Amino acid sequence: MKIGIAADHGGFDQKQELFEYLHSNGHDVTDFGAFEFDESDDYPDKVKPLAIAVSKGEIQKGIAICGSGVGVTVAANKVPGVRAALITEPYSAHQGVEHDNMNLMCLGGRVMGGVVLKELVEIFITAEYVEEERFQRRLRKVEDLEKEFRK
Ligand code: RB5
Taking CA atoms only, the protein residue closest to ligand 1 atom 4 is 67
Which of ligand 1's atoms lies nearest the C-alpha of 74?
10
CA 120, 126, 132: angle at the middle one, nearest 5? 110
What is d(CA 32, CA 62) in angstroms, rounded to the nearest whole number?
Answer: 10
Taking CA atoms only, the protein residue closest to ligand 1 atom 3 is 67
Q: Which helix (H) or strand (E) holds 5?
A: strand 2-7
Q: How many CB atoms lie within 10 A of CB 80?
A: 12
Which residues have a Cβ under 8 Å from the Cβ of 107 and sit 6 or more positions away? 11, 14, 63, 64, 65, 69, 86, 87, 117, 120
Q: Tell me the per-residue pLDDT of 92-119, one tens digit each, with 9 for 90 and over.
A: 999 999 999 999 999 999 999 999 999 9
Quote the CATH superfamily of domain 2-150. Answer: Sugar-phosphate isomerase, RpiB/LacA/LacB (3.40.1400.10)
Q: How far is the CA of 95 from the centre of ligand 1 (A)?
A: 26
Q: Catalytic pick from 9, 66, 94, 106?
A: 66
Q: How far is the CA of 71 from the centre of ligand 1 (A)?
A: 6
According to the model, what pLDDT value does residue 85 have? 99
Please identify every stretch of the chain with a pLDDT value under 50, giving residue numbers as ranges: none
Which sequence spans correspond to the domains of the chain? 2-150
Single pTM value for the model:
0.97
What is d(CA 127, CA 123) in angstroms, rounded to the nearest whole number?
Answer: 6
